[in-house]
Amino acid sequence: MSMRDDRVDAVFAALADPTRRRLLDKLAVQPSATATELAAAEPVSRQAIVKHLRSLDEAGLVMPSRTGREVRYAITPEPLEDAVGWMATVGAQWDRRLARLRGRLEAGH
């Protein structure tokens, strides 16, 4: 059950870049797109987008599939759950500590 650490690593790292998040935004609406298509709507070069898509792929957030001479990328949001899981854990622990502290205080110092 141990949350794969390097996986979470890659997911957060991928999500840290605004361009990458925008790409995911697009792919969350549009079923799939090519790097060249996506680059047209972004202020950076196609190669830059390709690199971004590569790191999204390595994080498992996107899946490329070749059809003919073009490569279409589709979103795979499952890995987000690992990341959310970690956040939930930290949040829960924090809440628990707070509750314990509150209890101890109410118990009369």
Partner DNA sequence: ATCAGGTGCAACCGGTCGGTTGCACCATGT
Partner DNA sequence: ACATGGTGCAACCGACCGGTTGCACCTGAT
Q: Site residues (CB under 8 A) for a second copy?
A: 5-6, 8-9, 12-13, 15-18, 21, 24-25, 28-29, 31, 75, 77, 80, 83-84, 86-87, 90-91, 93-94, 97, 101
19 binds DNA (CB under 7 A): yes
What does residue 30 show for φ and ψ, rounded to 5 degrees?
-75, 135
Q: Could you tell me if 56 and 11 are in contact, meaning their C-beta atoms sit under 8 angstroms apart?
A: no
How many whole angstroms separate alpha carbon 69 and alpha carbon 47? 17
CB 60: neighbour CB atoms within 10 A?
Answer: 17
DSSP 109: -
Among 11, 27, 35, 83, binds DNA (CB under 7 A): 35
Binding letters toward DNA, positions 60-99, x by CB under 7 A? ------x-xxxxx---------------------------
